[in-house]
Chain A
Amino acid sequence: MPTENSHIKILASAPAARIIARELNRRRFLGFAAAAGGAAFLAACSSPESTLSNGLESQLSMYSWGDYDAPEVLTAFTKDLGPKLTVDSFGSNEEMISKLVGTKGTSGYDIVVPTGPYIPQMVENNLLMKLDHRQIPNLKYMDPAFLGRDWDPTNAYSICKAWGTTGFVYDKTVITRDLFTWNDFFDAAMNEASGSVSILDDPGEITGMFYWANGIDWNTTKKEDIDAAEDFLVNKLAPHVAAFNSYPGSDAVPQDLQALIQIWNGDARLGISESDDPDKWVWRLGAPTTELWMDNWSIAEGAPHPKAAHAFINYVLEPANSLAELDYIGYHTGAIDIEQKAKDEGLEMLDMVFFTPDQIATMKDAEVNEAQERTVDIWNKMKAAAGA
């Protein structure tokens, strides 16, 4: 929400305003999700429906992760094609899905951005509309490597918006040895970085670290695996944890809040680029294995503005827009040859955006399964243990 940003600038210095704006967008779900959702819903319902001369509806409403699109692309879309865009944010797939389930096709949202593994069940529950590929000719700019994933083999319901992975950054003035793997991460966390450790505020990523470190299937439902994860995370790791933070790139890295930080690649890039002393931060992709998550453009079932929604997806797939999105969010958009274009544009720290095929081979897909409840439980227990 670009207006928010400029509004805050009046009150705070520019770097602080950027931090506050990002934090606001990302933390909104903490307290204001309900109110924000209601507003979009009302906006979608109450405005008179009219059609623009180019055949698109005059409105478009998007429900996505906070601060997840380049503001200039969003404004340019309205300028170029007409539909007025409302953006609303959620903090988890579950939150987004439950809102769609709860409103039964009347949420008023057009575009939604689910993460891959959630798509099959969403389709099964009639939450997503089939995409009309004829209205998305720019699909041709997408790299086939990031299309046809297991959860949606024909891209009938989704097209990659961005994908990323998990690793960590550390402050080499505090941790003077080299860290490479998740086990190194744990070791440093329980030693020189104790009390200065931040981990992602997301149950799957936390238990994931343990499974990735120990060669256990991330999607395990075996009780002994989950028990082992709980024992280690709650009893061993938690007491050393200072913060549970899903977006440390917007505050912890630039403000040096912790020395050892579990972080998504794009967020790491953002954080290091905003740090006063970027050279002291070392980025490591999680090893021996880590995750590959992919967020996708989809259209909600019952979307009131399907034409505008297709036009929007087509618009962001345009190579120039795709590059602008990549630059803003710091994640690979899945477009063909975008790595070369990014280099040509002179974008920096691209090792945190693009990965070699060998690296990609170590990245695992998540599944949504019955272990979820235990995973959330472990997360809460860790917080209790860390807060005590």
Chain B
Amino acid sequence: MTTTSGAIAVEKRPDEPAGTVVLDSVTKIFGESTAVDNISLRVEPGEFLSLLGPSGCGKTTTLRMLAGFETPNSGSIRISGEDVLGIPPYKRNVNTVFQAYALFPHLSVAENVAYGLQQKKVPKAEVREKVVSALEMVKMRSFADRKPTQLSGGQQQRIALARALVNQPAVLLLDEPLGALDRQLREEMQLELKLLQSQLGITFIFVTHDQGEALSMSDRIAIMREGKIEQLADAETIYSSPTSAYVAGFIGQQNFFEGTLNKDGNLENSGGKIRAAIPLSAQTGTAVRAAIRPEDITIDSKEPGPQINAISGSLVSISHLGETLQYLVDVGGGHTVLARRPRPGAPRLELKSKVWCTWTPESVLMFHAHEESPGSHDSPEE
């Protein structure tokens, strides 16, 4: 094995400054199952990148390879331009915030935070200074001398963050760090984390399976599926232009309609037709799937004029989601359509009454039907 310093001298790349993370055709296989399947990815310095995907899709494995706890079967990984394969975790300039925090129960909060600095033989006075400022940064200064077991989940999470950040790593890896927190605290922490990250300018690679979290925090999101990256783009692109029904279904809720492509480029099934502003270039008769977001669906008790994108049904429920109202419409055949309207100006409708749902062709995304759609709303096939 080559020494670390030797490896740096030879392999350091000028086009990959400190904080850059590059995965190049990385594959990780556990026995029979391929956890990470030929992933290539470049994260820029100071970027906030989220890895988003369902359970078991390989997010943690990817992170663990970056931290050095797993070795890829093939491919290479570079951090700050340095090939890190063969470099043990304790020599990598990355730090991790673990899903379960993994705070040392036998050390005080301050000693937990000091741990990394002490390993680097930082002078005592400097350790103290840095620990205090790290604790102040996460607003935990007054808890310094407690044991981690005497803290709440949110407080522990902050300590885990301080413990990692105090080392000023080039890259911070976070594995569902907010997973254990309640909703309100989670949203608070999301803001704080994002703020911290932009202040510090450290590259964050953030694992989550909460799409809201990914959307609100990330510069870019990598949607993962069965060990592969399905789409890598900024939040807006992922939301408005998903490249597959899988991505579309994963980000936000969707109403899906199945059918075949007719000669006009519209989806057609027994219930009617759906037109998309951007038609799918495929042969007539291909099985297709249309996706429409609930917030793009207008709902009314009056029958609309002759219009292609419309469906009627019976109103099953109205739920209040804070700023919006959500309507569930039974369109027959065991299928439902979900619509969301902002509270001001939302129509007043009677439960069990007949309603009409309409949407514009611009809000319709058309995909090939053979792609499954995880996390999607129940899809009617009218």
Establish whether A and B are touching in the complex (CB under 8 Å): no
User: Residues on A close to B: CB < 8 A?
Assistant: none
